[in-house]
Amino acid sequence: MREFSFHRAASVADLPAGATIIAGGTNLLDLMKHEVMAPESLVDITRLDLDRVEAEGDGLRIGALVRNSDLAAHPTIRRDYAVLSRALLAGASGQLRNMATTGGNLMQRTRCPYFYDRRMACNKRDPGAGCAAMGGVTRNHAILGASDHCIATYPGDMAVALRALDAVVEIDGPSPRRVPLADFHQLPGDTPHIETALQPGDLITAVVLPAPVAGQHRYRKVRDRASYAFALVSVAAVIRLDGGTINHAALAFGGVAAKPWRDPDIERLLTGREPSDALFAEAADLLLRPARGQGENKFKIPLLRRSLIATLRDATGMEATA
Amino acid sequence: MTRHLRVDGPNHDDRLDHMAQGVLGQPLNRLEGPLKVSGRAAYAAEARPANLAYGVLVQASVPAGKVLDIGDAPGALAVIQDKRMVRYAAQGQAQKAPKSGPDQVEYMGQAIALVVADTFEAATHAAQNLMVRYAAEDVPVNPDAVTPELPPQKQASAGDLDRAMATAAVSVDAVWHTPSHGAAAMEPHAAIAQWDGDRVTIRAGLQMLSSNRAQMADALGIRASKLRLLAPYVGGGFGSKLGINAEAVAAAIAAKELNRPVQVSMTRQQVFDLAHRRSETRQRVRLACDPDGRLTGIGHDVLVSNLPGSEFSEPVTQATPFTYEAAHRQIVHAVARIHRGCAGSVRAPGEAVGVTVFECAMDELAEAADIDPVELRLRNIPEDEPVTGRPFSSHKLAEALRDGAQRFGWSDRRPNGQRAEGEWLIGMGMATAVRVNMLVESRAKVTLLQNGQAIVETDMTDIGTGTYTILGQLAGEMLGLPVDRVEVKLGDTDFPPSSGSGGSFGAASSGNSVYLACEDIRRQIAKAMGCDEPDLTLQNGMARAGNIARSLSELIDGSLTGEGHLEPGKTEKSVRQATWGSHWAEVAVNRWTGEVRVRRMMGVFACGRVLNEKTARSQCLGGMTFGIGIALTEAMEHDSRDGHAVSRDLAEYHIPCHADVPGLEVHFLSERDAYVGPLQAKGLGELGICGAGAAVLNAIHNACGIRVRDLPATPDKIIAGLEARA
Ligand SMILES: Cc1cc2nc3c(=O)[nH]c(=O)nc-3n(C[C@H](O)[C@H](O)[C@H](O)COP(=O)(O)OP(=O)(O)OC[C@H]3O[C@@H](n4cnc5c(N)ncnc54)[C@H](O)[C@@H]3O)c2cc1C
């Protein structure tokens, strides 16, 4: 680990220029130990007044320092945004969730093992160096939105639910603004080192949720062990039926791309239709049309398909066994 | 005088059943438990001698070649590249150091130098940023890329297997793959070395101190008498601490050079790179049987790997020659010489993967022959060891199968794919558990003080298994003392040399030596009492013989000392020693996502005398959990281009977590094995692993009809099966 200076910020105005933000530290510290990230100065933001969940219009404003455990247990979240609570609880472990913050969780970096291993070439870590993951162990890499420069995924769960909920990220900094979560994480293209819409000097202050959508909230995460593993694929769903037809479908997918994936076409396809296996298969086909395997991760294509269908059947009350 | 026993024949007197204290076998909590849960038990890296410097190993970033230049490390106290540093860990029980000369790289991640600094962080930073230059070499890293060696002594055959297969009423011929496994003990490997003149003391996480001392002395080029090893607490080993490794050798070299104590701890990633891995295996199993399911042929043909010149090769077929009867048999053992990290003993080397695969093949045969899997096994239990004709020292497989079937409710098992709950398909599976048993030479010293307190000393280790506790119980039983009157001192080469912990032989081997030392003391007490030792009863500090009763304090003047020395003898060869059991699992397979959840699991085991019902049970729980890992989650992936271990932390190397492990049930069959010394106890640590994964995999098949032969059975492999059937 490289030596660094450490400053504990007292207010949002008190962020030293150029310093790297540390919140729960559960991701950043690991990366610093490997010198995948080697900041010269850290600013600890955990004393800032950003740890509240409060009403904003018909929605909710979640402070960037609200811990994952607290957010998952928050009564309003559990009642009105259950998909978010479920996604949070599907992530990491109890200990990690106690430390992890809303802002830090959004900003967590890929788990591509080649990114973590400095012996290996990585365009994210070292732009232009190449990508050692391609042709290597690619079991957990992207099937959607990857590029010739990078095939890593965004690994988080919370953001997948936020994507289905149409959340917005509130940013303070040189130009304070609100960025829809849809535009927050970036696909790699030829700049895989640029992962989010944040600019130097920016601080995430909150995540804002619009008015809740009643209906069935599901978060289905498929992983290599029953807990404490990143998603192979995940599906966040908010589905509402009205007299036998689907009148709201919001679906986001994790573990498959460099950002929580969402495809408006499949939502349009589902809306106004009666639930059926044929319809769900059609939706899965549409979703997976652009999907490409990277060798070992090809299985994610049928896995995502099956997971989507299972989630839709579950959320629309179809028999699990049919 | 030392009580010496070579185990040359049976011992049927069940003496421990006739002692008076009644403490042996009791489910006592671990004596050192409170120290561990309150952080007072100091593990290897937790000592803080004054003026401690920190060393961090520098690792090769090429799979093979020569280190030309190590570069320099501004801010470090020293960069040490000493030709005595070892390239990989010593194998268990080796008497010599492993290969040294770190400038020749044999696998990616090999330790090539040590950087020492005043803090761990500074040393890490310097080590990570050295500009090392190599003359890299092209080497094979995949087992399929080379023509394997066929060590002649590892091949075996009897009869004509090909003919048996060709003429069989029913047969199975299939190939399985298991990946590399990491031991993944909780405590990363660490050592602190400190010199005093020409004597060095090393605290380290080690399992077998007496051979570790020989290895270390050889590595450093000093006499063993100048070297003291301390390992009072070890946070798990699972084979990975059987032999010395790069960190301890480097710490000793650096401490000498800098003339101050030096600690070297591995990071979690380094543990995956540098501790022995279990070799991946390819296993072809051929089984032939008659219409009644009686085996006529058994073939077990395996490919494992290791570095060129490494003598260890995963003994996959260790239990194959004696588990089931068959006239025609063949074992082929091939070793691919490739440049992945060194392979060695990991959690039940051999049977962990060998029995697991073999028992999957038996399940396939049962199905093909339309015979119940339990019945198929019962029909093939040999009377004596096949081919050699040796008797078994004890043999409780049939009882374990029948008892297990009854307890588990095996008769409720339905045909494949006929039980479902919502999205989940439910199935049951079973397997035989079998593991070879052995004793290893071991010594102990016991001192009985006038105040009725006993001290047990041996260089045996407690790697979290409960050794402190069982040796305390044993001495208490033999000397008639409550356990809190017995102090057990372990993990110090100043104490008599023991078997160490490994291969499931630790409890029985070191236990027998403590038994003998106590017997020595009992004789001295008997003499003072004027009776024969067998007529002596010791209980709660009182000695009784006939109608004489005296307290130990009256009998002992100062203290009594006993020494015990156990050696394996003729029963090693005259009988086939093994432990037996049965594994049972009920799993749920998600029909959509292919996720597998173990719903219940049970093991029935026969391992001779149980010394502490609780620690024994814990060993089995751990073993069965490893079985779940082998079946469902554990895989150390290697990059096919350079062989490096890709899953190098506990987020990526998936040990089963709590949610993967349901309530596990363990039952012991009452057994006294007469051929394994007066303790009549056999090994237990590994039996719970051997075959456990097969019960899970066979249950998957019963649930959904899919056979996963490429382990572990992760969702991708299950859905591949589901898709193929759709
Ligand atoms: C073993 C393990 C398993 C895990 N499993 C899962 C899982 O299954 N699912 C899952 O979703 N996650 C998982 N995680 C990731 C975990 O959720 C993240 O580490 C955590 O959410 C990060 O939050 P933090 O507050 O600790 O962030 P930090 O580590 O403090 O920061 C992470 C990054 O965010 C930046 N940052 C933090 N706060 C702000 C802010 N307010 N504004 C701008 N930038 C900011 C930091 O500069 C840093 O780059 C796992 C982590 C570990 C270690």
CA B726 to chain centre: 42
CATH number of B44-62+64-138+184-274: 3.30.365.10
Nearest by CB to residue B715, choosing from A1, A222, A314, is A222
What is the reported pLDDT for B350?
98
Best CA proximity match to B471, nearest among B568, B4, B458: B458
Q: Give yes or no for a contact between B51 and B261, defined as CB atoms under 8 angstroms apart.
A: yes
Q: How confident is the model at residue A150 (pLDDT cuts 50, 70, 90)?
A: very high
Q: Looking at the complex, does the CB of residue A94 fall below 8 Å from at least one CB of chain B?
A: no
Between CA B272 and CA B269 the distance in angstroms is 5
Q: Is the CB of A303 less than 8 angstroms away from the CB of B651?
A: no
What are the φ and ψ backbone dihedral angles of B11, each rounded to 5 degrees?
-135, 110
Best CA proximity match to B319, nearest among B274, B281, B356: B356
Between CA B711 and CA B626 the distance in angstroms is 13
Tokens 């729980």, residue?
A: B621
Between CA B600 and CA B23 the distance in angstroms is 32
Tokens of B411: 């008769």
- Kindly state the average pLDDT of the residues B112-139: 96
Angle at Cα B153 formed by Cα B275 and Cα B506, nearest 5°?
45
pLDDT(B286) > 80: yes
Tokens 């051999």, residue?
A: B350
Domain range list for chain B: 2-30+441-570, 44-62+64-138+184-274, 392-437+577-636+646-725
Which residue ranges have their beta carbon within 6 Å of ligand 1? A 20-28, 30, 45, 64, 91-92, 96, 99-101, 103-105, 107-108, 156-158, 203-204, 230; B 651
The share of chain B scoring above pLDDT 70, in percent, equals 100
Domain B392-437+577-636+646-725 class in CATH: alpha beta
B182 half-sphere exposure, CB direction, 13 A CA radius: 31
What is the reported pLDDT for B725?
86
Tokens 């995502």, residue?
A: A304
Q: Is the CB of A113 less than 8 angstroms away from the CB of B652?
A: yes
| Cα dihedral across residues A158, A161, A165, A167: positive or negative | positive
Between CA B246 and CA B240 the distance in angstroms is 12
- Kindly state the average pLDDT of the residues B611-629: 98
Would you give the DSSP letter of residue A108? Answer: P
A222-280 residue pLDDT tens: 999 999 999 999 999 999 999 999 999 999 999 999 999 999 999 999 999 999 999 99
Which of A6, A15, A26 is the pocket-test mutation for ligand 1 (most atoms within 8 Å of CB)? A26
Chain A CA closest to residue B715 = A224
Between CA B677 and CA B516 the distance in angstroms is 10
Q: Is the CB of B659 less than 8 angstroms away from the CB of A225?
A: yes
Preferred mutation among B128, B587, B708 to probe A, highest tally of A CBs within 10 A: B128
Between CA A299 and CA A301 the distance in angstroms is 5
pLDDT(A320) > 70: no
What is the reported pLDDT for B1?
75
- Kindly state the average pLDDT of the residues B577-604: 98
Would you give the DSSP letter of residue B63? Answer: S
- Kindly state the average pLDDT of the residues A178-203: 97
Question: If you average pLDDT over every residue of chain A, what do you get?
Answer: 97
* Collapsed DSSP state (helix, strand, coil) of residue A289: coil
* Cβ count within 10 A of residue B135: 11
Residues of chain B contacting A226 with CB distance shorter than 8 Å: 595, 597, 657, 659-660
CATH number of B2-30+441-570: 3.30.365.10
Residues of chain A contacting B723 with CB distance shorter than 8 Å: 302
B417-453 residue pLDDT tens: 999 999 999 999 999 999 999 999 999 999 999 999 9
Which of A69, A105, A171 is the pocket-test mutation for ligand 1 (most atoms within 8 Å of CB)? A105
Instruction: Please name the residues in contact with B134: beta carbons below 8 A apart, sequence gap of 6 or more.
Output: B60, B61, B62, B65, B66, B67, B68, B105
What is the reported pLDDT for A319?
75
- Kindly state the average pLDDT of the residues A15-33: 96
> Concatenated DSSP letters for B78-104?
EEE--TTSBSSPPPTT-SS---B-TTE
Long-range residue pairs from B527-535, CB within 8 A, at least 24 positions apart, any chain: B528/B555, B528/B556, B529/B555
Q: How confident is the model at residue A14 (pLDDT cuts 50, 70, 90)?
A: confident
pLDDT(B454) > 90: yes
B151-196 residue pLDDT tens: 999 999 999 999 999 999 999 999 999 999 999 999 999 999 999 9
List C-alpha distances in Å: B445 to B19, B61, B233. Answer: 20, 48, 20
pLDDT(A322) > 60: no
pTM higher than the cut 0.90: yes
- Kindly state the average pLDDT of the residues B644-651: 95
* CATH tag for A216-321 (out of 3.30.70.640, 3.40.35.10, 3.30.390.50, 3.40.250.10): 3.30.390.50
Residues of chain A contacting B659 with CB distance shorter than 8 Å: 225-228
B527-572 residue pLDDT tens: 999 999 999 999 999 999 999 999 999 999 999 999 999 999 999 9
Measured in angstroms, the CA of B205 and the nearest CA of chain A are apart by: 23
What is the reported pLDDT for A321?
57
Tokens of B367: 């199905």
Report, as residue numbers or ranges, the catalytic residues of B: 686
- Kindly state the average pLDDT of the residues B282-292: 98
Domain range list for chain A: 5-46, 216-321
Question: If you average pLDDT over every residue of chain B, what do you get?
Answer: 97
Q: Is the CB of A303 less than 8 angstroms away from the CB of B594?
A: yes
Nearest by CB to residue A137, choosing from B423, B632, B639, is B639
B672-712 residue pLDDT tens: 999 999 999 999 999 999 999 999 999 999 999 999 999 99
Ligand 1 centroid, distance to A106 Cα (angstroms): 7
Equal fold, B2-30+441-570 vs B392-437+577-636+646-725: yes
Q: Counting one residue from A and one from B, how many pairs have CB atoms under 8 Å apart? A: 107
What is the reported pLDDT for B669?
98
Q: Is the ipTM of this complex over 0.90?
A: yes
Preferred mutation among B268, B593, B599, B625 to probe A, highest tally of A CBs within 10 A: B593
CATH number of A5-46: 3.30.43.10
A268-316 residue pLDDT tens: 999 999 999 999 999 999 999 999 999 999 999 999 999 999 999 999 9
